[in-house]
Chains A and B, each alone.
Chain A
């Protein structure tokens, strides 16, 4: 077998999920930061910074789900049924958030606060349960004969709840630095003041998750701390510290673009760390991408379409960000 289709599909799905985390991350972050901004005009402005792009961001979530179904049906069936409740709650959060986004602009001013609450609640719920899902996934799922055999609430652990809270911090920082980049004046100053506390909070939760994970999972500790792995992977935590330092400096000197770029780098590093811990398992702790793979006929057939369409989606995404580049001011709207 010349081409490892499972490997190609794993790369596509890992890429898709990363695109999702990065892109939906900052627009969910806007919803998380909403309670910190009381002024109606500034809330409008916050939404307008993501309005042209937010629905495209969720494209990657659907694509990730469909790709997982096509290429790794066993992982799709086990992971989704094991994490049933957090995933359903996440989807409901996303529905609320999405619809509130649109109808807030169409509602009477007297009713706008209801849609604001739906937007905040939906964003928080979607983020929290994404984090819980991730935490439960890292903890591993009980699988026998290709079927999930754990309980309905196995996902609910201190670690998964902590991951949910950690992701809220991460997305809040993404949203905060996005707004520093996209706005000016009072809103930008407010975000600027929120920036440093959020960076410290993110450093703290990242540190705790990074220690908790290997302590709870000897296999992951082995992956990181055995030689020579340690030397290969050491750059990841070092770069995290470096980026955090640079990020604090950038916020301190009032940079507009650097904070967002450095936060993206931090998210990417965290994601890489996760990849290092789990690879090549698509259902931790024991099922690899090759164990869960669809037959090559299926992976190959779906790959033809994916390789044809994904470049178009990427080009369109880049183009829409390019069109709406620059600062958003109060007299512009994309609703």
Chain B
């Protein structure tokens, strides 16, 4: 099918479904914590702006959560359907970790999500705040388990091989494997940043259209404090993560740097741009800064960074992909830092909410965090190749024995269905964003209960806004 073999199609299918999926959990993680902060500030200060923002973002959170559950259903089965040799080889480690992730998510949904979304007027403020906190904690716990599983595939330890399969011998060593703390910190921070820029872009959109209200201003203000403080922190965490990768996966670093040869004995330059060519074993058209590669990665001026030619050709990850995905991520990160610094300057000058070029930048930076997350995951996952469990199992040996036709057909199906279904979902989220916060929403009685036309009880039923522009169902409910 299009000259791709079954293995390549299986990899594309996994990349497609997981890339679509990760958008939703990333925003879920960020919004859950944002909502906890908003509710805490509301309880502490009693300022209505926090309560209005809480209600506005909790609806978007709910839709987003629903989308994440639906797209996650496919992920729970894909290891077995498409990567059966991996599942049999490493299932003794990966299976229990994924089970804990599923159990955590369900525990959260069973216990606290309902109270958080539908209990504002039904339980006391303390219990409601506790529910929001538990939901936020739950999203982070889910992140914990899924990244423990993924990190173990990068830096496996705490296992032995018995009959050609992995057997866990020390669960603490399995979970707290060397790359896990860095990856967890990097991903959780990325989720917070992606959410902050999404929130900031929403505020900028309204401000650019002249909707200059206290809640909109508060959204932009909070988002820009996050950009200013957390984007540089993320760069620092990313640096630590990179140094950890250098220790455990040197070939990945060599590929990210597009660095081929150490025979000259000279310190490694930093290649800014170039075209890594796997066949020619060189990076063409490169623009480089001498010494900087050594300085960044070894924190010295004479030590060399690993070079791709030190690894046999069959053990090298595709340098072209990771070279550019990494640079895309870093460039977006630098733009985020820049946005934060500019916001501080404008805040100091008292022009944060009026400077149109800045607001346009904020609007365009809305998807930046999500793009950076995708670019980062492409870097780390493609950089792990040709291994699926680093040093233990090759991706080519992990795939199920399906034919190319079968994989091509299902891939096409997934593309069509995902674009249709999640296209509608995402456009619905954007519609909610465009509607903007409504003042004093939290003072209205919650819908539902005896004699009420509508009792929402699931995440996606939290918002009652219609799907289309002229909204018949809103009129039906007598709202809006």
Interface residues of A (CB under 8 A from B): 51-52, 54-56, 58-59, 61-63, 65-71, 73-74, 76-81, 84-85, 87-88, 91-92, 94-96, 98-99, 102-103, 105-111, 146-148, 152, 294-295, 297-298, 301-302, 305-306, 308-309, 312-313, 316-317, 320, 324, 331-335
B267 within 8 A of A: no
Contact, CB under 8 Å: A108 / B99: no
Least CB distance from A73 to B in Å reads 2
Contact, CB under 8 Å: B69 / A88: no
B95 within 8 A of A: yes
Contact, CB under 8 Å: B102 / A105: no
B contact residues around A152 at 8 Å (CB)? 402-403, 406
A-B contact pairs, 27 of them (CB 8 A): A55-B458, A61-B73, A62-B106, A66-B101, A66-B103, A69-B94, A74-B91, A76-B91, A80-B80, A80-B84, A80-B87, A84-B81, A87-B77, A146-B88, A147-B84, A152-B402, A294-B92, A295-B168, A297-B169, A298-B96, A302-B95, A306-B103, A312-B110, A313-B106, A320-B457, A333-B453, A335-B461
Q: Which of B9-36 contact A (CB under 8 A)?
A: none
A66, A103, A331 — most chain B CB neighbours (10 Å): A66
Contact, CB under 8 Å: A77 / B84: yes
Contact, CB under 8 Å: A62 / B76: yes
Q: Which of B415-445 contact A (CB under 8 A)?
A: 417, 421, 424-425, 428
| Residue of A whose beta carbon sits closest to that of B416 | A92
Contact, CB under 8 Å: A111 / B468: yes
| Residue from A51, A69, A94, A334 within 8 A of B73 (CB atoms) | A94
B274 within 8 A of A: no
Known: A55-B459, A69-B99. 17 other contacts (CB 8 A): A58-B73, A62-B76, A66-B95, A70-B98, A74-B88, A78-B84, A81-B400, A84-B406, A87-B77, A94-B73, A107-B473, A152-B402, A294-B92, A295-B92, A297-B92, A309-B104, A333-B455
Least CB distance from A142 to B in Å reads 12
Given contacts A62-B76, A96-B417, A334-B461, contact A88 B410 (CB under 8 A): yes
Least CB distance from A13 to B in Å reads 11
| Residue from A68, A84, A95 within 8 A of B70 (CB atoms) | A95
* Bound CA span A69–B470, Å: 46
A68, A81, A94 — most chain B CB neighbours (10 Å): A81
| Residue of B whose beta carbon sits closest to that of A331 | B453
B contact residues around A58 at 8 Å (CB)? 73
B contact residues around A295 at 8 Å (CB)? 92, 162, 167-168
Contact, CB under 8 Å: A92 / B417: yes
Contact, CB under 8 Å: B400 / A84: yes
Contact, CB under 8 Å: B102 / A79: no
| Residue from A51, A87, A107, A302 within 8 A of B467 (CB atoms) | A107
B contact residues around A313 at 8 Å (CB)? 106-107, 110
| Residue of A whose beta carbon sits closest to that of B67 | A99
Contact, CB under 8 Å: A95 / B73: yes
Contact, CB under 8 Å: B421 / A99: yes
A contact residues around B80 at 8 Å (CB)? 65, 68-69, 76-77, 79-81
| Residue of B whose beta carbon sits closest to that of A317 | B110
Contact, CB under 8 Å: B457 / A52: yes
Kindly count the residue-residue contacts between A and B in the assembled complex, taking CB atoms under 8 Å apart. 228
Question: Interface size for chain B: under 10, 10 to 19, 20 to 34, or 35 or more residues?
Answer: 35 or more
A contact residues around B465 at 8 Å (CB)? 106
Contact, CB under 8 Å: B81 / A88: yes
A52, A58, A301 — most chain B CB neighbours (10 Å): A301
B456 within 8 A of A: yes
A contact residues around B284 at 8 Å (CB)? none
| Residue of A whose beta carbon sits closest to that of B66 | A102
Contact, CB under 8 Å: B406 / A85: yes
* Bound CA span A84–B408, Å: 13
Contact, CB under 8 Å: A106 / B417: no
Given contacts A69-B98, A77-B91, A301-B168, contact A332 B455 (CB under 8 A): yes
Contact, CB under 8 Å: A148 / B84: yes
**Proximity string of chain B (74-89) to chain A, C-beta cutoff 8 Å, 1 when within and 0 when not:** 1011011111111110
**Proximity string of chain B (383-427) to chain A, C-beta cutoff 8 Å, 1 when within and 0 when not:** 000000000000000001111001000100110010001001100
Contact, CB under 8 Å: B99 / A67: yes
Contact, CB under 8 Å: B458 / A69: no
B contact residues around A77 at 8 Å (CB)? 79-80, 83-88, 91, 400
Contact, CB under 8 Å: A92 / B413: yes
B contact residues around A308 at 8 Å (CB)? 103
Contact, CB under 8 Å: B102 / A108: no
B contact residues around A68 at 8 Å (CB)? 80
B contact residues around A294 at 8 Å (CB)? 91-92, 95-96
B contact residues around A334 at 8 Å (CB)? 454-458, 461
| Residue of B whose beta carbon sits closest to that of A76 | B80
Contact, CB under 8 Å: A99 / B88: no
| Residue of B whose beta carbon sits closest to that of A299 | B96
A contact residues around B72 at 8 Å (CB)? 62
A contact residues around B93 at 8 Å (CB)? 298
| Residue of B whose beta carbon sits closest to that of A335 | B461
Least CB distance from B96 to A in Å reads 4
A contact residues around B471 at 8 Å (CB)? 108
Contact, CB under 8 Å: A63 / B401: no
| Residue of B whose beta carbon sits closest to that of A92 | B417
A contact residues around B454 at 8 Å (CB)? 332-335
B contact residues around A335 at 8 Å (CB)? 454, 456, 461
Contact, CB under 8 Å: B413 / A88: yes
Least CB distance from B363 to A in Å reads 26
B contact residues around A51 at 8 Å (CB)? 457-458, 461
* Bound CA span A320–B103, Å: 19
Contact, CB under 8 Å: A316 / B111: yes
Given contacts A62-B73, A84-B81, contact A312 B467 (CB under 8 A): no
Given contacts A102-B460, A102-B461, contact A66 B102 (CB under 8 A): yes
* Bound CA span A81–B464, Å: 40
B100 within 8 A of A: yes
* Bound CA span A62–B107, Å: 13
| Residue from B66, B73, B94, B402 within 8 A of A84 (CB atoms) | B402
Contact, CB under 8 Å: A70 / B473: no
B contact residues around A320 at 8 Å (CB)? 457
| Residue from B82, B99, B464 within 8 A of A70 (CB atoms) | B99
* Bound CA span A105–B164, Å: 52
Least CB distance from B450 to A in Å reads 9
